[in-house]
Amino acid sequence: MVFVSIGLRFRVEAEAMNMVEPLGAYTRHRIVYALRRVRRKQDDRVVLGYRAVPVPAISGQSVANAYSRALVDLAKLTWGEKAPLCDECENYLKYGGFTKRFDKITIGHDDRVRGCIVEDITGFLVAAERGAETAKAAEREIPRRTSAIWFSYMVPDIDYGAGAIESQFHVQYNFVTQQHRPFTIESGSAVYMQLVALDVDQIGRLKNRNYISDRLERVELAFKALLALYEGHVYGAKKSRYLPLSEILGGVAAVSSTLPFMVSKPKLYYGDKTYIEDTIDRARKFIEALTSSSKLEGEVKLYVTYFDREGVVKTKPEGGKQFEVESSENYTDMINKVLNKVLDYLRSGASK
């Protein structure tokens, strides 16, 4: 098994990337409740607690939609007219999104994987037909595939900086009718955190667990789509007048072989450790615990790479036995190193 996890930190100002349905002339930003650590007195002692705080958020569904669009664009550039794309995904603008061919139950699992890289990587679930066909459909296996890529919500790191939502009042004036049209849009600003995970083994895999011939090309495209997603800032909506002021502050990524490993949530500090140092410390102990048995000696491998534009990592972390650590210059450099390590693992037979 080859599994990749990524934690990222973004500084984003004045964005309206994920809005909920407007009520009249008021368009609200999506919010979630995050838990903030608080200290309070109890019986002459200080105890640690948590308080739920409403904060701006960007849904994982919104990011996943942008990732699918990046996959389509890159597939067309890579393969041209022979790109493995179904009609619905290739023409997602016409269909209003990625419908995942829910109305074509006759297309089997393996044909969907071969025929569309978007459905291969982001998964699908085909609902049974309605009416008289429902009973017949129930007798057949319904094609389904869990997404190989996972996106968390983008949520503020409120332990080390507040997330803010501000309502902006706007007015449109018609000089002919001399009427005003007032409307209000909420914008958000925060240092956002996000986790991304990719089960590399699932890409290009058929029901019999064999792989399609262009598997490695699809794996490479999956990571290049992550580059296009964040470096091109293609996720989010309402950017024509609310183009966010955004930068990637830092990130950490882990490539694990045989067993999955998830990086730490990218909040700035865990006590006296940064999220990068906490990830590396956890990874080292994870490897040591697993390889304490001679049966797993050489079977489990971990590679961690990171970049830090906040200047919080003071000492360069080191790796160990079956455990590599490497610094990166920026997000693009980090993803390129992750991709190269993934391809090394796959070619060496780490994924069977």
- pLDDT value of residue 271: 87
Is residue 138 very low, low, confident or very high in pLDDT (cuts 50, 70, 90)?
Answer: very low
Least confident range from 24-28, 50-54, 113-117: namely 24-28
- Cα(35)–Cα(8) distance, integer angstroms: 19
Mean pLDDT, rounded, for 87-108 = 80
Break the chain down into helix, strand, coil percent, rounded to 5: 30, 35, 35
For 143-152, what is each residue's pLDDT tens digit?
A: 888 999 999 9
Mean pLDDT, rounded, for 295-305 = 83
The two structure tokens encoding residue 338: 């992750």
Mean pLDDT, rounded, for 167-180 = 86
Q: Is a pLDDT exceeding 60 seen at residue 41?
A: yes
Task: Tell how strand 301-308 and strand 245-257 pair up.
Answer: antiparallel
Q: Is a pLDDT exceeding 60 seen at residue 139?
A: no
315 burial via Cβ count (<10 Å: 0-12, 13-18, 19+): exposed
- pLDDT value of residue 102: 60
Q: Is a pLDDT exceeding 90 seen at residue 17?
A: yes
The two structure tokens encoding residue 286: 């994870």
- Cα(216)–Cα(19) distance, integer angstroms: 37
- pLDDT value of residue 135: 44
Cβ(34)–Cβ(52) under 8 Å?
A: yes
Mean pLDDT, rounded, for 218-241 = 94
Pick 270 or 142 by higher pLDDT.
Answer: 270
Name the CA dihedral angle for 218, 222, 223, 227, rounded to a multiple of 10 degrees.
Answer: 130
- pLDDT value of residue 74: 97
Cβ(74)–Cβ(228) under 8 Å?
A: yes
Q: Is a pLDDT exceeding 90 seen at residue 47?
A: no
User: DSSP letter string over 38-99?
Assistant: EEEEETTEEEEEEEEEEEE-B-HHHHHHHHHHHHHHHHHHHHGGG----HHHHTHHHHTS--
For 62-71, what is each residue's pLDDT tens digit?
A: 999 999 999 9
Q: Is a pLDDT exceeding 70 seen at residue 311?
A: yes
Q: Mapping DSSP to helix (H, G, I), strand (E, B) and coil, where does residue 311 land?
A: coil
- Cα(238)–Cα(4) distance, integer angstroms: 31
Least confident range from 21-25, 48-52, 55-59: namely 21-25
- pLDDT value of residue 168: 87
Treating both helix axes as pointing N-terminal to C-terminal, what angle do 215-231 and 60-79 enclose, rounded to 10 degrees?
A: 120
Q: Is a pLDDT exceeding 50 seen at residue 59?
A: yes
For 122-132, what is each residue's pLDDT tens digit?
A: 998 876 555 44
Which H helix or E strand runs over 195?
strand 179-199
> Cα separations (Å) of 336 from 24, 199, 262, 306, 345?
46, 17, 19, 12, 14
Residue type, 147: S
- Cα(225)–Cα(236) distance, integer angstroms: 15
Helices and strands in the chain, H and E counts? 9, 15
Q: Mean of the per-residue pLDDT values for the chain?
A: 89
- Cα(195)–Cα(154) distance, integer angstroms: 8
